[in-house]
């Protein structure tokens, strides 16, 4: 099972973190941007090339530190087809580096449309007599707030391809309470979503005790995170909100089980943009990113012991 593979990588590197690859052109060091703009001009193609070179450099620096990367589709989509090509190339390069790839796509549709998303990101596409993979990531994020019809097509593909997914349960943004904290009978809405997520995959449990359907649970609500860990004992957590959004290592410790398993914590800007704080104009972006990733790892390991 794919979450077993992710947990194996976490154990091997003693690091339960994922580096988000959410690059804006201004996050790219000036010397990389200049080289790409000199070649392609200040165009979408030039921006896309700069981001690809940046991503590859980051992964070269991080591949023996972090177990996973998480490219966020929006940052690539905004560059049009050139950006989506860069996302595909980023995914391929990550896999060559032995990294687990979580595509942060947050798709939330139903029926044949959900199936098409699932085929494209996790599965295969029928072309004549052939079945061909497209993005071929290990895991995706899914918005399940349209109900099980939005989750099941992805789960079916995950079972066929031995992959996994994360559904949005309790997100890290400030306005999440406007909907997710509303009372629904004897539960609040995010508990309903968490229960649904675990129930849909309850008969498909891996060697570490986690199902194929994980949950996104933000670090910015540590009491909710702690309660959900107890409630959803077989659900693997993706934890955003550490660092720039205000979540701390002390907060994220509640995402893990007693063995230090069952969760992975995301950081994006604090790693990608670490070079902006060194005063070296980005020439040291790889060293800066690696130092930031190691500092995050060590910070969390003060509170979480991975067995």
Backbone angles phi, psi at 107, to 5 degrees: -75, 145
Tally of CB atoms within 10 A around 130: 8
The one catalytic residue among 14, 56, 97, 106: 106
Report DSSP letters for 233-302, one per residue: TT--EEE--BSTTSB-HHHHGGGS-TTS-SEEEEE-HHHHTGGGGTTSTTTTHHHHHHHHHHHHHHHHHT
Q: 35 to each of 45, 49, 54, 104, how far by Cα in Å?
A: 12, 9, 11, 28
| Strands 130-133 and 124-127, sheet pairing | antiparallel
The Cα 33–Cα 51 span in angstroms is 8
258 flagged as catalytic: no
Catalytic residues: 106
């Amino acid at each position: 099972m794919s979450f077993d593979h992710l947990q194996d990588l976490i154990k091997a590197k003693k690091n339960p973190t994922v580096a988000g690859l959410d690059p804006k052109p201004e996050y790219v060091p000036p010397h990389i941007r200049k080289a790409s703009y000199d070649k392609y001009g200040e165009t979408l193609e030039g921006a896309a090339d700069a981001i690809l070179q940046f991503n590859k450099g980051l992964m070269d620096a991080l591949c023996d530190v972090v177990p996973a990367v998480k490219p966020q589709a929006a940052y690539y989509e905004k560059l049009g087809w050139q950006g989506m090509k860069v996302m595909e190339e980023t995914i391929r390069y990550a896999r060559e580096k032995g990294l687990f790839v979580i595509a942060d796509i947050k798709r939330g549709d139903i029926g044949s449309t959900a199936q098409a998303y699932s085929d494209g990101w996790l599965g295969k596409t029928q072309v004549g007599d052939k079945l061909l993979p497209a993005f071929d990531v290990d895991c995706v994020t899914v918005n399940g707030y349209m109900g099980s019809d939005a989750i099941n097509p992805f789960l079916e593909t995950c079972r066929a391809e031995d992959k996994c997914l994360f559904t949005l349960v309790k997100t890290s943004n400030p306005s999440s309470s406007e909907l997710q904290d509303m009372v629904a009978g004897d539960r609040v809405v995010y508990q309903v979503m968490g229960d649904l997520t675990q129930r849909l995959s309850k008969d498909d449990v891996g060697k570490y005790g986690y199902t194929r359907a994980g949950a996104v649970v933000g670090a910015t609500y540590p009491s909710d995170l702690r309660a959900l860990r107890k409630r959803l004992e077989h659900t693997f957590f993706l934890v955003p909100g550490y660092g720039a959004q205000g979540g701390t290592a002390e907060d994220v410790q509640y995402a893990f089980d007693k063995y230090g398993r069952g969760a992975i914590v995301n950081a994006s800007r604090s790693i990608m943009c670490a070079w902006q704080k060194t005063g070296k104009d980005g020439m040291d972006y790889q060293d800066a990113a690696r130092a930031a990733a190691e500092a995050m790892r060590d910070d969390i390991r003060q509170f979480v012991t991975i067995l």
